[in-house]
Chain A
């Protein structure tokens, strides 16, 4: 279970009130949602709304920091100094996204430590896409183009999410993600137009990343556990299938411009719908990866745990030093 702070009423009182008070608070909350107003940290909110947001924002934050791993895998091997700088900056941005998403979650009354603990013990999830390996340099481009592209399609509507701190964090995240997406596309373009070996590397990466990217939108709406309530709360604004279709429609012409093929024989323009039809997604693979049977689940979470455990003495040292400084205020060293 997620930890939940005692609710505060609009006047800041800790809500021990029940019955009529609670009903009035709920009515005010409902009115704010239907008027498209933002819910802020000190506003009263239903337990379920708070728990849903904590789960979603935490999962998002975890995805950012686990997502550093497959790309960091190529920092030391990037084939030019320019690409090395771009990749380093990108991975750094992801750490930054993690930071402000954890901060957004903290406005709901949980601590970063608690959330990390839940990630490390497998009680909270991160996006399954990061359980796939980056096998070649072209995977860095495919992640930028497809994975970041899918993330943006998912996240742009979150800039209008009903919870203020999350919506505001997403505005910045989306700006940086769209930069990453263009860089990934440009990386793939250079490979596609490069030597035959580079072109083949790019095609192979797209072949491996296409279907997992489509799965990033989650199961079909009919089977999605959280969709309907999240839509009603305006945390979510569009269904999984609608966003997935939007993504496919964006990618097809981009793949053509790249000179690369998307690995789906059923992909074709549907004049009537004004959209591309595409093939059946293998949801059994999705379920398996979600359950922990993806190629890198164990590796990703182990590395995260190891970094955390190996860093424990550093965090303890910082805390001990801070305590000593606080205990000796006259000993201000004046260093700045």
Chain B
């Protein structure tokens, strides 16, 4: 079987692709949200043993585990979770660029988490709120995961307040993260095929919510553009940022080195 992926130049076959049918709308949706969760879990996993205090080692691992759990459920709706995670190339991943951004300092990690978990909670909330007769497997996952996402959002908000309204140094670092990651937030509201979501409402609610947290944290809400200008598109089209290739190289290396093995 072979799968397909899209670039601005059109739809391409991926030769030898082990899992077909990814072009169905439900699958596209599961893949987009599953890749978001997988890639952010991978990033958060890098913190293990490096957190500023023991409580945060526990908390960040906890969030990573929740996200990894979501990713496994979502990817399994599309095909074999391990084939999807370990054998796809960079251009076949559908996660937003925000989640692949390097951890940076703790402020960068927290602001990335704030932007993403506010989005994820609103998105899952809308999906979970659909009429029961319209419920898709993705909506079922969303209904379950929205509770843990609310905890992730709360964790990020509390830390945003502490960092923004803490010391001069923490304020400076938090503001830098807020500004640097802002350009990856526009992509969050790009409609994903197969998801019954009011995207304009999602953007408006996200903006209100994030703005309120930042203001409370005495941080300046950026005024710059929420996306870089490039016709190639973004993560949802399989166009990623440079650090993403290295993330995949590290994640996939062992699995790919033993093609016949099971673990």
* Known contacts A92-B62, A95-B57, A99-B58, A317 near B163 by CB under 8 Å: yes
CA distance A160 to B50 in the complex (A): 33
CA distance A56 to B170 in the complex (A): 36
Separation in Å of the A42 CB from the closest CB of chain B? Answer: 26
Contact A318 B48 (CB under 8 A): no
Closest to B46 in A: A76
Contact A81 B85 (CB under 8 A): yes
Contact B251 A311 (CB under 8 A): no
Which residues of B, 63-87, contact A by the 8 Å Cβ criterion?
A: 64-65, 68-69, 71-72, 75, 81-82, 85-86
Contact A91 B53 (CB under 8 A): no
Which residues of A, 291-336, contact B by the 8 Å Cβ criterion?
A: 303, 307, 310-322, 324, 333, 335
Whether, in the assembled complex, B216 has its beta carbon less than 8 Å from a beta carbon of chain A, the answer is yes
Majority secondary structure, A binding face: helix
Partner of B51, one of A76, A194, A307: A307
Whether, in the assembled complex, A83 has its beta carbon less than 8 Å from a beta carbon of chain B, the answer is yes
CA distance A20 to B38 in the complex (A): 67
Whether, in the assembled complex, A80 has its beta carbon less than 8 Å from a beta carbon of chain B, the answer is yes
Separation in Å of the B61 CB from the closest CB of chain A? Answer: 4
CA distance A106 to B254 in the complex (A): 42
Contact B260 A317 (CB under 8 A): no
Contact A137 B48 (CB under 8 A): no
- A62-104 vs B, CB cutoff 8 Å, 1 = contact: the mask equals 0001001100100111111111110011011001101100100
Whether, in the assembled complex, B258 has its beta carbon less than 8 Å from a beta carbon of chain A, the answer is yes
* Known contacts A318-B162, A324-B165, A75 near B50 by CB under 8 Å: no
Contact A313 B255 (CB under 8 A): no
Contact A76 B263 (CB under 8 A): no
* Known contacts A92-B58, A99-B54, A317-B166, A81 near B68 by CB under 8 Å: yes
* A98, A191, A303, A313: most-surrounded residue (chain B CB, <10 A): A313
Contact B81 A81 (CB under 8 A): yes
The size bracket of the interface on B is 35 or more
Contact B48 A84 (CB under 8 A): no
Partner of A68, one of B42, B49, B86, B162: B49
CA distance A78 to B254 in the complex (A): 7
CA distance A137 to B254 in the complex (A): 8
Partner of A317, one of B50, B69, B72, B162: B162
Contact A92 B54 (CB under 8 A): no
* Known contacts A84-B45, A91-B48, A317 near B170 by CB under 8 Å: yes
CB neighbours of B258 from chain A (8 A): 79, 195, 197-198
Residues of A at the B interface (CB closer than 8 Å) are 65, 68-69, 72, 75-85, 88-89, 91-92, 95-96, 98-99, 102, 137, 190-191, 194-195, 197-198, 303, 307, 310-322, 324, 333, 335
Residues of B at the A interface (CB closer than 8 Å) are 38, 42, 45-46, 48-58, 61-62, 64-65, 68-69, 71-72, 75, 81-82, 85-86, 105-106, 157, 161-163, 165-167, 169-170, 173, 216, 250-251, 253-255, 258, 260-263
- Chosen A-B contacts, 8 in total, with CB atoms closer than 8 Å, are A76-B251, A79-B258, A84-B45, A95-B58, A307-B49, A315-B53, A317-B162, A317-B167
- Rank and list the top 5 A-B pairs by shortest CB-CB distance, nearest first: A311-B52, A317-B166, A317-B170, A92-B61, A314-B52
